Amino acid sequence: MRRIVITGMGAICALGHDAPSVWKAMTEGVSGIGPLTRFDASALRSGGIAAEIKQFDPSRHFDEARLAFLDPLSQYALVAAREAVEQSGISFDGERASRTAVLVGVGVAGEETREGLYKRLYEERATRFHPLGIVRIMTNAPASQISMAHGITGPTFAVASACASSNHAIAQAALMIRAGLVDAAVVGGAEASLTLGLMRAWESMRVLAPDTCRPFSAGRKGLVLGEGSAMFVIETLESAQARGATILCELAGTGMSADAGDIAAPSAVGASAAMSMALRDAGLAPEAIGYVNAHGTGTVANDSTETRALHSVFGAHAPALAISSTKPMHGHALGAGGALELIGTIGALRDGIVPPTLNYLEPDPACDLDYVPNVAREKKIDAAISNSFAFGGLNAVVAVKRMG
Amino acid sequence: MSNVQQETFDIIAKQAKIELDTIKPESTLKDLGIASLDAIEVIFDIEEHFNINLPNEDTDFDGGTVGQLVEAIERQLAQKTSE
């Protein structure tokens, strides 16, 4: 079987505009959550908080002509992809162009553009719709824009599974490489849906926390939304070695499952199945895992269910795991979630620092494992998994390990 | 039975497709087989019907009883009248 390695990563979210800044903030326990500034959120019942990207000036990254085509969804994905490609040093000349895939997990779509144009249509009774609406809004826009920006002509599309989109995209890319269809992929996730309509929709499901996000803690009241993108260059070990590329870590395996149960309530069975499959796929014993970047949304249901799933997969090893949710820092970035969290997971492998679970108050009896509360911890990590469990009962887990 | 209680029970019965007389003030939504998004939808229907907002604290689907829900609705209605 072809071994797959990660040779580049890029990120943008509330914690920073590049992967090193995002990772540094994670190790320092910085939270990007604060009052919404992008629109008047005073009427929201949910507290009007989110992890927004701040001080992002698109004109520093894109010329005016190109920017007209780009919803923030694509802007974030392009910024992260460019960083990942630059770090990896890969070029897409010759056959490489068609032997590379672009897969971008997106949970929603270009919502800022959509809501802006719908507001004109329905509220202001505009009789014309902007001609670039479709190409800005469409869910595949980030994947298409990345392929165009880098001249990549291999399989390119969006992967959608709500909050598991990134991890499903990474799994899909890994499978394509293993199947010999391509030798490399630019893969990750993006989301930019902090709009009044989406905030109202989440609020009405009663899953948004009014105070903050405190995963696995007693007193947790729900999730806090975020936004951004993280992208990676993954390729065969052979390809990376031939190029003399710096290898960040090995993408050891992936696992996917569906609960086939409730459309919203999580299932420990489905979550366990995806984790077990990722471990099997990676050829890793449960005892080999040192760190779990949890889905850890901060809802009562997710965190207790995920804890039960961790017990069932890891058994006696579960209490020895360092488990953290980085969502109190970058927010729940939906389609970008798994990718942003992989930045934290890779950081833990490479630097031996486990990012903390912020805002932790005290133990909840239903969440009885080691969640690395509030402060980062030094710990040598040889292998780790990153969990994403989506509404719709869709689960995807990514396993990574140190190159050894 | 107060009007508010009657109307609330009607909404629950309709949404959960259960007989009205199976709903008792001491039942929880969970007892009545209303879980997950169905429970959220019941609360939404109640909010729409009475034109009120029920805070998350008043919607404990596992432990809270239908009687407590009716009390929470009456509180919100009283607050609305006094505004």
Distant-in-sequence, close-in-space partners of A16: CB < 8 Å, separation ≥ 6: A22, A24, A25
Of the residues A193, A217, A243, the one at which a domain ends: A243
Between CA A342 and CA A239 the distance in angstroms is 22
| A185-215 tens-digit pLDDT | 999 999 999 999 999 999 999 999 999 999 9
pLDDT band at B1 (very low <50, low <70, confident <90, very high): low
- Indicate if A163 belongs to the active site: yes
Work out the number of other CB atoms within 10 angstroms of the CB of residue A211: 14
Is residue A320 less than 8 Å (CB to CB) from chain B?
no
Residue A36's pLDDT is what?
96
User: Which pLDDT score is estimated for A47?
Assistant: 80
Count of domains forming chain A? 2
User: Tell me, what's the pLDDT at B81?
Assistant: 82
Provide the number of structural domains found in chain B: 1
ipTM for the predicted complex comes to 0.86
Is A264's CB within 8 Å of B37's CB? yes
Instruction: Identify the domain containing residue B74 by its residue range.
Output: 3-82
- Domain CATH code at residue A92: 3.40.47.10
pLDDT greater at residue A167 or residue B29: A167
Is A197 found in the same domain as A109? yes
| pLDDT value of residue A372 | 98
Give the three-class secondary structure for B76.
Answer: helix
Quick one: average pLDDT of A351-361?
98
- Of residues A328 and B36, which shows the higher confidence score? A328
A367 catalytic, yes or no?
A: no
**Rounded to two decimals, what is the model's pTM?**
0.96
Distance from CA of A208 to the nearest CA of B (A): 10
Q: Is A54 near chain B, with CB under 8 Å?
A: no
Asked about A317 being catalytic, the answer comes back as no
B chain contacts of residue A204, beta-carbon cutoff 8 Å: 40, 44
Rounded (5°) CA angle B20-B25-B27: 80
Does the residue A206 lie in any domain?
Answer: yes
Asked if residue A316 and residue A276 are part of one domain, the reply reads: yes
Residues A282-301: tens digit of each pLDDT: 999 999 999 999 999 999 99
Average pLDDT, chain B: 89
B63–A contact, CB cutoff 8 A: no
Contact A265 B59 (CB under 8 A): no
Predicted confidence (pLDDT) per residue in A327-350, tens digit: 999 999 999 999 999 999 999 999
| Residue A324: per-residue pLDDT | 98
C-alpha torsion sign, points B30, A225, A325, A11: positive
Listed in sequence order, the DSSP H helices in A195-332 are 196-204, 237-243, 268-282, 300-314, 327-330
Chain B interface test: which of A45, A205, A206, A207 (most B C-beta within 10 Å)? A206
Mean of pLDDT over chain A: 97
- Domain assignment present for residue A248? The answer is no
CA of A210, closest CA in chain B: separation in Å?
Answer: 9
Q: For A40-92, what is each residue's pLDDT tens digit? A: 998 898 789 999 999 999 999 999 999 999 999 999 999 999 999 999 999 99
Q: Which residues pair with A10 in a beta bridge?
A: A231
